[in-house]
Chains A and B, each alone.
Chain A
Amino acid sequence: MEKKSPKAWLYLLPAILFLGAFLVYPLIDVLIYSFEEGYNSASQTHFGIGSYNYSYVLRDPYFLQAVKNTFILVIITVPVSTLLALLISMALSSIRRLRELYQTIFFLPYVTNTLAVGLVFMIAFQPTAYTDGLVNGLLSVFGIAPIDFISGPYWAKMFVLCFYTVWVVLPFKILILTSALASVDQTYYNAAKVDGTPAWRIFTKITLPLISPTLFYLVITGFIGAFKAYSDAVALFGTDLNAAGMNTIVGYVYDMLYGTSGGYPSFASAAAIILFVIVLTITCINLLVSRKHVHYH
């Protein structure tokens, strides 16, 4: 180790100041609020200190619904989007003709405006005075009765939310995985070919381990991203997510602060800390699992 020098601190200063002011301080502040009962941000007062905020939030049916929604979203969209992206990028790497064209097409959603994407989903799923939406139109061909995806049954709404999330995160994952696949040295495949390795074994024993750092990166950021989901749900179901039963944890935090029933920074802080603990736990589990299965070289 080098000797500590004042110069090093000088270089670190901008980052420390910035992170301290906008990351560490708010984080500590939120932690404090979450234990201050009935905190009022206008008068900067509170009644007492204790764990009441947590017990309130944990008993709030809206919060429990939000936790359930978030977990379903995470558990479905992270594996589905990662696997789909892997499949598509494998397919992209194996074609020669028009590869750039396909890559561009698959990447288009990433550069498309969220509002435009929302519009596409509205046309696809939302019933209007004239039609039941594109998807229902398709379903009716198979003789299936129209389903209200936007304000109908819970599973239909959840399906749309998951579909939307997967669709939005897919391009980025495809882009990253395609470049990871391209960076695998072709001689490994040649060596495997000369040794008569079956295609499936090449995939599981060579390709997967060699791109595992990238895959792991995508899974971890995917988990974190999905836990923080909020805007997607708003885009689909409007701002009153509690009424639609489609709220997420971040949505609940927002509602507690600014929503129609808002003005409870203490409850919002407690919910935010709970989310923080959940994400931290999941990320730690991910890191532990990765030690065995991710090969850095």
Chain B
Amino acid sequence: MEVTLKDLTKIFPGKGKHAADVVAVDHVDLQIPDGCLLGLLGPSGCGKSTVLNLLSGLLAPTEGKIFFGDQDVTDLPPEKRGVGLVFQSYALYPHLTVLQNILFPLQNLRGKDKLTKEEMLQKATEAAKLVQIDTLLDRKPSELSGGQQQRVAIARALVKMPKLLLLDEPLSNLDARLRLQTREELRRIQNETGITTIFVTHDQEEAMSISDLIVVMKDGKIHQIGKPQDIYDDPQDLFVAKFLGTPPIDLFDGYTKDGKLWIGEEAVMDVDGDYDGHLTVGIRPEGFVPSQTGAFTCGLQRLEVMGRDVSVVCQHPFFIGDTFRAIIDSDDIPKVTGSTIRFDLKPSKVYLFREDDEQRILFD
């Protein structure tokens, strides 16, 4: 099912007498294609969970509309929207077994949707099989590991075959290894069911790895929408560039003059654009190519060899921050002598941003 947000706004009244109102979601327009796995990405407090709650109907928007397909659901209560919601804390009922938890939404069905006991059991078992917890049905949630509880929560959200599945920080309560495993699992389950799925995360790696589409949000506004790789390769502004990528993008103070990009005293690259003046230069860590004759000279601090690739930890007077990292292939570890290292830059990994509004400046 296609989901459309039109001019969606949510304002929370400020708490206390003189507190200002909080604009959690600020005039958001978004169209989510049918069957898409969408990652809603942003730092905490950016309004992504509010968007999720607006979609589920637990919150009512201050302004704007929500459409499921062609249907306007803005004023529908949660139970009429047919969404499945997985909470960050899973919210499994602690006094019910896994099976009873999964059955719970089915037992709520009334009227023409009412199911017989056998039908319910069958659907619940199917959902449990899908998330591979069908051997744990008689356990209580407290007897399960975090990852298993997570699966039960997903099974409970899926058992009614919702038109839209919402997941709030689904992996944040899992340890690092389980997180990797579970996110693959999430991708598999979404592929198998084909249900339009939206998940909220502050972890860009998580969003990058499994999403069909990523929406990057900050301060209630959408900064960029796109496929993970496109957003990484083509960030529209400084915030998006900074937020995506590990290690993060390296930022320098620089300026353009006469078709050259200058960082400090060095003209590091040719740029072909009509912008002359100061700007912020963002270089992806993989955009540095060590070279004896490189145009960009940096102070070398140390090398960190991590198997496949090498981090070169460097310093530069115009770097914004302390030290920065360049990632290079372990095959071409440079022969370093002295305390400086020279790089050539890959033009496709260099981004220029205006200093005032942090928007990207395009160049050839």
Chain B residues with CB under 8 Å of A188's CB are 91, 93
**A187 beta carbon closer than 8 Å to chain B:** yes
Q: Are A187 and B91 in contact (CB under 8 A)?
A: yes
In angstroms, Cα B87 to Cα A187, docked, is 8
Nearest B residue to A195 via CB reads: B105
Q: Are B89 and A196 in contact (CB under 8 A)?
A: no
**B3 beta carbon closer than 8 Å to chain A:** no
Q: List residues 96-120 of chain B with CB under 8 A from any CB of chain A.
A: 104-105, 107-110
Q: Are B108 and A194 in contact (CB under 8 A)?
A: no
**A99 beta carbon closer than 8 Å to chain B:** no
Q: Are B95 and A196 in contact (CB under 8 A)?
A: no
* Contact residue among B58, B80, B95 (Cβ-Cβ distance under 8 Å from A210): B95
Q: Are A194 and B93 in contact (CB under 8 A)?
A: no
A: number of interface residues (CB 8 Å): 20
Chain A CB within 10 Å, residue with most, of B57, B84, B104:
B104
* A-contact bits for B44-75, CB 8 A (1 contact / 0 none): 00000000000011100000000000000000
- Given the known interface contacts A201-B108, A210-B94, the answer about A194 and B89 at a Cβ–Cβ threshold of 8 Å is no
Nearest A residue to B81 via CB reads: A194
In angstroms, Cα B160 to Cα A197, docked, is 13
A64 to chain B, nearest CB (A): 43
**B83 beta carbon closer than 8 Å to chain A:** yes
Chain B residues with CB under 8 Å of A198's CB are 108, 110
- How many contacts A-B (CB < 8 Å)? 61
Nearest B residue to A206 via CB reads: B93
Q: Are A194 and B79 in contact (CB under 8 A)?
A: yes
Q: Are A193 and B142 in contact (CB under 8 A)?
A: no
Q: Are B83 and A194 in contact (CB under 8 A)?
A: yes
Q: List residues 183-226 of chain A with CB under 8 A from any CB of chain B.
A: 185, 187-188, 190-198, 201, 205-206, 209-210, 212
Chain A residues with CB under 8 Å of B77's CB are 193
**B259 beta carbon closer than 8 Å to chain A:** no
Q: Are A194 and B95 in contact (CB under 8 A)?
A: no
Chain A residues with CB under 8 Å of B93's CB are 188, 191, 205-206, 209
**A97 beta carbon closer than 8 Å to chain B:** no
Q: Are A196 and B105 in contact (CB under 8 A)?
A: yes
Q: Are B79 and A193 in contact (CB under 8 A)?
A: yes
* Contact residue among A195, A209, A210 (Cβ-Cβ distance under 8 Å from B108): A195
Q: List residues 209-251 of chain A with CB under 8 A from any CB of chain B.
A: 209-210, 212
- Given the known interface contacts A201-B108, A210-B95, the answer about A196 and B78 at a Cβ–Cβ threshold of 8 Å is yes
**B85 beta carbon closer than 8 Å to chain A:** yes
**A46 beta carbon closer than 8 Å to chain B:** no
Nearest B residue to A294 via CB reads: B95
**A59 beta carbon closer than 8 Å to chain B:** no
Interface size class of chain B, counting residues whose CB lies under 8 Å from the partner chain: 20 to 34
Q: Are A185 and B89 in contact (CB under 8 A)?
A: yes
B151 to chain A, nearest CB (A): 16
- Given the known interface contacts A195-B160, A197-B108, the answer about A295 and B85 at a Cβ–Cβ threshold of 8 Å is no
Nearest A residue to B79 via CB reads: A196
- Given the known interface contacts A193-B58, A195-B160, the answer about A297 and B95 at a Cβ–Cβ threshold of 8 Å is yes
In angstroms, Cα B110 to Cα A295, docked, is 28
In angstroms, Cα B23 to Cα A51, docked, is 80
Nearest A residue to B87 via CB reads: A187
Q: Are A190 and B87 in contact (CB under 8 A)?
A: yes
Chain A residues with CB under 8 Å of B56's CB are 194
In angstroms, Cα B78 to Cα A196, docked, is 7
Chain A residues with CB under 8 Å of B105's CB are 195-197
A290 to chain B, nearest CB (A): 13
In angstroms, Cα B272 to Cα A50, docked, is 114
- Given the known interface contacts A194-B78, A195-B104, the answer about A209 and B87 at a Cβ–Cβ threshold of 8 Å is no
- Given the known interface contacts A196-B79, A201-B108, the answer about A190 and B91 at a Cβ–Cβ threshold of 8 Å is yes
Chain B residues with CB under 8 Å of A205's CB are 93, 104
Q: Are B78 and A193 in contact (CB under 8 A)?
A: yes
Q: Are B85 and A191 in contact (CB under 8 A)?
A: yes
Q: Are B95 and A191 in contact (CB under 8 A)?
A: no
Q: List residues 26-55 of chain A with CB under 8 A from any CB of chain B.
A: none
Q: List residues 256-297 of chain A with CB under 8 A from any CB of chain B.
A: 295, 297
Q: Are A194 and B94 in contact (CB under 8 A)?
A: no
- Given the known interface contacts A194-B78, A196-B79, the answer about A185 and B91 at a Cβ–Cβ threshold of 8 Å is yes
Q: Are A295 and B104 in contact (CB under 8 A)?
A: no
Chain B residues with CB under 8 Å of A190's CB are 58, 85, 87, 91
Residues of chain A at the chain B interface (Cβ within 8 Å): 185, 187-188, 190-198, 201, 205-206, 209-210, 212, 295, 297
Minimum-distance CB pairs A-B, first 4: A196-B79, A295-B95, A195-B105, A187-B91
Residues of chain B at the chain A interface (Cβ within 8 Å): 56-58, 77-80, 83-85, 87, 89, 91, 93-95, 104-105, 107-110, 142, 156, 160
